[in-house]
Amino acid sequence: MYPITYLTDCFDGNARARLSTRIGALFGQSPTIIALDGPDPESFAALTLLDCLRSTEGLAGPTITLFNLAPRDGHWPNGVPFCFFRYGEHLVAGTFNPRALALVRRELGITEVFVTDIAEVLDAVDFDPVQAERIITTQFRSLWYLPLLARWVADHRAIPSTTTPIPITPDEGPLVTVIDNFGNCKLDRTPEEIKLDIPRYPHLTAVPRNEPGLIPGSSGVGYAELVVRGGSAAAYFGLQPGDRLSELPARQRV
């Protein structure tokens, strides 16, 4: 059995029940479902996907990570296609979302993915035509199609796909990707890459109490965290996921 993590913006109770049941029936175990919510779910997905893959380093055994998050650009009138790629033994399958894939591109060298067409895939695996039509036209393709795609790729079945480069997304400066339950702001680059005049410290306990600082965090590849020791950096600076540190008013900078 494979450890399965599913990152999705369809995370209400009904959706979780259906996803858990369907994936459990396909793989013999239900997934860990992570909600992609908040003001910038794409940046949350990007860091979490990178962290899921990096957390496997030095450990034996494959994993499966699924993600469902359509780009917010309106480019795909009939729904964004689903894609897959491998990182070593580990399989990732999800929506073709350049922002969600940006950090695995930059940090892990995943520059292209295999994009699929649902009708073409279902025809290639001789899927029942009546059920295939339902899957092609359903609103909840992340339930009816994505788990099947993951199962077939994990089983090394021949899946028709198009090798597609991951577009490079614009770099507009350090981004708040995740705010943890302590109010620490996880950024998308290392402290050395951040040019703002904010004091650097080697770890949280070196930061003066009730003062802000930048420390090496636990996410990414040594990505920085903006913290306030004994408090919330998010509240201190008025930040939320998706905010750029370069856009902080001068009075809010240290």
Decide if 171 is inside a domain.
no
Q: Per the structure, how many domains does the chain have?
A: 2
- Taking only the tens place, the pLDDT of each residue in 181-219 is 999 999 999 998 888 888 999 999 999 999 999 999 999
pLDDT at 88 over 70: yes
- Based on the fold, state whether residues 206 and 119 are members of the same structural domain: no
**Tell me: the pLDDT tens digits for 143-159?**
999 999 999 999 999 99
Taking 50 as the threshold, does the pLDDT of residue 253 lie above it?
no
| 242 φψ region: left (φ > 0), alpha (ψ -120 to 50), beta (else) | left
**Residue 74 backbone zone (phi > 0: left; psi -120 to 50: alpha; other: beta):** left
Which tokens sit at 124?
Answer: 């290639």
Which amino acid is present at 103? L
Residue where a domain terminates, one of 165, 191, 212: 165
Residue 153 shares a structural domain with residue 100: yes
Q: How far apart are the first and last CA of the chain?
A: 49
Written as six digits, the tokens of 248 are 């902080």
Q: Of 110, 140, 165, which residue is a domain's last?
A: 165
Averaged over 11-27, what is the pLDDT? 96
pTM of the model: 0.92
Residue span of the structural domain in which 147 resides? 4-165
Confidence (pLDDT) at 250: 42
16: number of CA atoms within 13 Å, CB side?
Answer: 10
